[in-house]
Amino acid sequence: MDSFAIGAKLLLLLLSLVVHGESKGCDIFQGSWVHDETYPLYDASTDCPFIEKQFDCQKNGRPDKDYLKYRWQPTGCNLPRFNGRDFLLRHQGKSILFVGDSLSLNQWQSLTCMLHKAVPESKYQLTRVGDLSTFTFLGFNTQVMFSRKPFLVDLVKTSAGRVLKLGSTESGALWKDKDVLIFNTWHWWLHSGRKQEWDYIEDGSRTMRDMNRLVAFEKALNTWAKWVDTNIDPTKTKVFYQGVSPDHTNATSWGHSNATKDCREETQPFIGHKYRRGSPAAELVVEKVISNMSKPVHLLGVTMLSQLRKDAHPSIYGGVGGHMEADCSHWCLAGVPDTWNQLLYATLNDNKCDIFQGKWVYDPKYPLYNASNCPFIEQEFDCRKNGRPDNMYLKYRWKPTSCKLPRFRGGVFLERFRGKRILFVGDSISLNQWQSLTCMLHLAVPKAKYTLIRTGGLSTFSFPAHNVSVMFSRNAFLVDIVGEKSGRVLKLNSISSGDLWKTADVLIFDSWHWWLHTGRKQPSSDWGDRNAKNCIGETRPVMGRSYPGGRHPEEAIVENVVRKLSKKVRLLNVTTLSQLRKDGHPSAYGYGGPRATDCSHWCLPGVPDTWNQLLYAVLFPYSN
């Protein structure tokens, strides 16, 4: 089996396709700041008597107020206004714990102010024991807690000095059994001199004075990730990562020529959708670590929206250090952390889950169709017709960890895409998915006429009654491969066939399967069976949520490229769920028979049907 033959699917939704008016239908972390006279959400001096002095910029003498009057506006939807009473009712009898550094304190303080503003008549209790602060709304029995843990891993005092242990999270016992966890770390990793909190760093068996801070940060974050994967039950606890809060200590990062200038005297945010400096390296590390986790963690991507707010720091009005030292790291309250909590509120109330994380479960109602009901199915995918004797591989359904995957409704699909064109572009794995979708749609309207036309590398399956075309264009590398006198040339910087792509309403791209065609195969040891040679004889999936062989580096490349695109591309992250299906390949029952074992493509019905269910769920997020 090719090492990444499963492939990662890319879904490009064109603007003409569908627009959603709520937070579910857009990326609520992408947008701009707009002036709004109804803001702020509360007055720190009157609505929040327990506010920390360092965050109450108005009380500390800040003369301007315009920074209080900005609201975050996502690009394609509206962010629901924070409803504190609703928040408390939803979390009645529950505990919410912020774990991290003083930026976590900043967000925790913001949330307590916002909730108290909503229920000013409700009694509360604020206790501080060591590094743990607990704010309890007694009438709701709701606890909002903050645990100071600036590195997430352990910092211990020894006879030699303070040791930062990158591989240890013994204090994680406090994190267990909470209903909501919001983690954060980064701010303190860059401190040096008197502000540095450790004397030594312990990395495995090595102890050293210092090391590359970004490398140390990633090691610590992986230790935290391992703790979450080992200890968290996603059905009981929702886990968030706050994201990387930026500072504005160097004005060159936002285009100013003076490197000594900081956030002092800044009174206006950046107007627009982008920040000149781009993403900090720590943010990419966070995304990388979270993407490798087996348990769902929701990333509150607050970095970019916070980067735009150079005006919102305490500056010299932080109350700590007087007017001598500017605080360009933390945030005034009311202010930016209130928006972080609005985003937290929107995410908590959003019933979405990561539909790509889960496991395969036996379901006797499967498959979704019989290959005999699909008269145009390619011979190479019709494993039963080719003599495959077992049928258990047909009886598995993908079950996301925290929600249900909507059942595919072909009639709804065709109605929604009336007059539209759906185009798969890629290799034979794309052909596999295209073939699956045509079968699933034909099953939904078996009496509807259809046409199937193949011209060169383009196959077009049309439903005339709906004026819907589902097409497949073979372009195994996405870039051009041309025949020249000297031979076939793969042109990495050329896409002459892209004109066809412009005509589609939905584009699903795929490439990787053919890039390794020199013979490298994926060994059976990847799924933990050292006795098997390949997928021959495999009749059961790998049970559980994680694949013993882990992720492939190529998957990270796809994610990195997609992340940097200026236009929105949705990643259909089918890799892990497909890795678990060692039983789903044609094996000896494909096009070439026993002489050409196929452990790359997929039997139909089979795994690609699930890919299309996921496509359906992404296209129609409100489907029941």
Residues annotated as part of the active site: 102, 327, 330
Q: How far apart are the first and last CA of the chain?
A: 36
Residues 6+ apart with CB under 8 A from 129: none
What are the C-alpha distances in Å from 309 to residues 4, 60, 66, 147, 254? 41, 20, 12, 26, 11
Look up tokens 């843990």; give the residue.
Answer: 149
Residue pair 469/452 in contact (Cβ under 8 Å)? The answer is no
Distance CA 192, CA 195 (A): 6
Tell me, what DSSP letter sits at residue 87? H
Contacts of 403 (CB under 8 A, 6+ apart): 351, 352, 353, 355
Within 10 Å of residue 13's Cβ, how many Cβ atoms?
A: 17
Query: 524 near 599, Cβ under 8 Å?
Result: no
CA gap 616, 624 in Å, rounded: 11
Per-residue HEC secondary structure of 114-147 comes to: HHHHHCCCCCEEEEEECCEEEEEECCCCEEEEEE
What order do you get walking across the sheet with 142-148 strand by strand?
A: 124-129, 132-137, 142-148, 95-100, 180-183, 238-241, 298-299
Distance CA 541, CA 175 (A): 33
What DSSP state is assigned to residue 99?
E
Instruction: Please state, in angstroms and rounded to a whole number, the distance separating the CA atoms of residues 424 and 430.
Output: 6
Name the packing angle between helices 213-231 and 281-291 (round to 10°). 30
Nearest-angstrom CA–CA distance, 31 and 307: 12
In angstroms, the CA 430 to CA 310 distance is 45
Measured CA to CA, the distance from residue 554 to residue 557 in angstroms comes to 5
Contact 433, 507 (CB under 8 A): no
